[in-house]
Amino acid sequence: MSRSESNDHANSESGAPPGWERVIAHADMDAFYASVEILDRPELRGLPVIVGGGANRGVVSSASYAARRFGVRSAMPTVEARRLCPHGVFVRGRMDRYVEISRTIREVFESFSPIVEPLSLDEAFLDLTGAGRLLGPPLAAASALKRRVLERTGLVVSVGVAPVKMAAKILSDLSKPDGLLAIGPEYLRAFLEPLPVERLWGVGRVTLERMHRAGICLIGDLARRDAGELRARFGSIGPHLRELACGRDPRPVVADWRRKSYGEENTFERDLASGADELGRALIAHAEALGRRLRADRVAARTITLKLKLARPLGGGRYPLVTRSLSLDAPTDDGAAIMRAVRALLARAAVGEKIRLAGVQAHHLERSDPRQLGLFDQKVAIAVARNARLNRALDAVARRFGEDAVTRGLAHAERAAPTHRIK
Ligand SMILES: [Mg+2]
C-alpha cells in the first residue's frame, strides 16, 4: 500500500450511508437446532421436526417451520407438542454439533465485522458501520452475509438491518423465514409506530398489562405520550421505553472479546522479596504467556495490570492484595511490551514486603489488526508487522516445543515458574 492510499483510507468517511449514524445488523439462524438436524439427515426435509429432550428434557427447544404450522413453538412442553403434532419427528438435541456449527457461523460474522456481539449460539448483532467501503450499502452487505452463511453451513440466517439495535432485532424477527429487511433512519419511526408495544425490549408481561391499562397498545401510542407522565406511571423505565418507541437506542454493539480480560498468575512455593530474580522470571513468563494468548485470539490490550498478593496474613486465609494498572499509548499483544509495563508497575508499587502471589492481567482489548489500530504511519506499521512476524515465529516454536522454549530473557536461567489462567 502506498503512502497516499493509506492516507485516503485513514481519512475516508466511516463507511455508513448518508443519514445513518450506525449500521447495525441482527442475524438470527432460522429454527437453528431443527435446521441442523435436517442438514445432517436430509430425509427429514419438509417434515415437522421437533427438537427437545437432552439437557432440557420435556421442553421443545426448536421446531422446524413445518412443525410450527401445527402450532408447535419453542419453550412449549413436549407433551403439548405431541398433542398438536402427533406425527412429528421428535429428536433429542445434540448440543456438541450445534456448538460446532455455531463456531463456523461466528467466523462468518467476524469476517464481516470486527464488532460482533453474540446473544446466543445462533444469534448476534454486527456493527456494519465501517463495512460500507468494502461491502457496499447495508442491504448488499446483509445479503452477502446471508449468502456466505448458507455457503459455509448449508443453513439459512435471517437478517435485519437498522441504525439502532432494537429495530434491527425486530426486523430480523419479522423477516423470518429466510428473510432480509433493512430500514433507513428516515423511515424508522413510521416503521415502529404500528407495531404492538410488546415488540420493544423491556416490555414484559407485567409492564404490558400496565401499558394496556394506560391505553398504550402500539409503539406509536407510547411515542406520543409525555415523558413526565410515563415516569409517574412506570418509573424510570417509562421514559426509557418512550425513547425506544421514538427509534432512539444509543446502545452500541459490544464485541464479546472486548468484555473479556486475560490473566496469568501463580503462587510461589516460598514467599519472595520484590527484587527477587524468581519474581522477575515469573512475571516474564506471565507476560509472554499473555502475549501468546492475545495473539491467538487476535486481540491487543490497552491496559496492563500487575497483581501482587503479600505474604503477611490478614487472618482467615486472606492476604493483602496490591494491584497497579497502566494504560499504554498503543494496544499491544507483545510479551516484551507487556513486561515493560509490568516493570514500571512493579517499581511504582514499591512493595517493601514479601510476596506470595504474582499475576499479570490484560484489559481493554481491541482487534490487533494494524489497520484497525490506526497505524497509518508506514514506519510504525512496518515495525508492528516485523514484531508480529517475530511473535508468530515464536508462537510456532512454542506450539512445537512447549512454552518454556521461547520464554524471552530466560535463555540461561532456570525454568520459568509455571503459570495458570485466572480467566
Ligand atoms: Mg434463531
Domain count, the chain: 3
Query: How far is it, in rounded angstroms, from Cα 102 to Cα 107?
Result: 9
Q: List the shell of residues around ion ligand 1, using CB closer than 5 Å.
A: 28-29, 32, 122
For residues 132 and 15, give the distance between their C-alpha atoms in angstroms, rounded to a whole number.
4
Find the CATH number of the domain harbouring 165. 3.30.70.270
CA of 246 to the centre of ligand 1 (A): 26
The set of residues, in sequence order, having a beta carbon less than 8 Å from that of 341 and lying 6+ positions away, is: 304, 326, 328
Domain stops at, among 201, 220, 245: 245
Q: Could you tell me where the DSSP H helices lie in 18-57?
A: 32-40
Q: Which residues constitute the domain of residue 221?
A: 193-245
Q: What is the DSSP letter of 96?
A: H
Are 39 and 22 in contact, with CB atoms under 8 Å apart? no
If you measure from the C-alpha of residue 232 to the centroid of ligand 1, how many angstroms do you get, rounded to a whole number?
A: 37
- Output the nine-digit C-alpha cell for 59: 421442553
pLDDT per residue as tens digits for the range 31-40: 999 999 999 9
Is 123 among the residues known to form the active site?
yes
The last residue of one of the domains, among 151, 183, 215, is 183
The CA 32 to ligand 1 mean position distance, Å, reads 5
User: Alpha-carbon distance 208 to 3, whole Å?
Assistant: 57
In one-letter notation, the amino acid at residue 291 is: G
The catalytic position among 21, 43, 117, 123 is: 123
Buried b / exposed e across 52-87, counting CB within 10 Å, b at 16+? bbeeeeebbbbbbbbbbebebebebebeebbeebee
31 Cα: distance to centroid of ligand 1 (angstroms): 6
229 and 283 assigned to the same domain: no
Residue 124 CA to ligand 1 center (angstroms) comes to 10
Total-model pTM? 0.65
Give me the residues of the chain with pLDDT under 50, please: 1-12, 55-56, 370-381, 405-423
Please check whether residues 389 and 266 belong to one and the same domain: yes
H helix runs in 89-164, sequence order: 95-112, 132-135, 138-153
Same domain for 212 and 120?
no
- Closest alpha carbon to 185 in 161, 201, 169, 218: 161
Interhelix angle 32-40/95-112, nearest 10 degrees: 110
Q: Which residue has the cell 454493539?
A: 253
- Do residues 223 and 164 share a domain? no
Query: Do residue 368 and residue 398 come from a single domain?
Result: yes
* Residue 298 identity (one-letter amino acid): R
**Residue 128 · residue 137 · CB < 8 Å:** no
Rounded distance from Cα 158 to ligand 1 centre (Å)? 8
Residue 157 Cα to ligand 1 midpoint, Å, equals 8
Q: What is the pLDDT of residues 363-392, one digit of tens each?
A: 988 876 544 433 333 444 455 555 666 666
Q: What is the pLDDT of residue 299?
A: 85
Whether 389 and 290 share a structural domain: yes
Amino acid present at 362: A
pLDDT at residue 13, rounded to an integer: 52
Q: Tell whether 322 and 295 lie within a shared domain.
A: yes
Per-residue model confidence (pLDDT) at position 419: 43
Residue 226 resides in a domain? yes
Predicted pLDDT at 254:
87
Distance in Å, CA 312 to ligand 1 centroid: 53
Same domain, 112 and 209: no
For 149, the grid coordinates are 452463511
pLDDT of residue 266: 92
- Residues 119 and 411: their CA atoms lie apart, in Å, by 45
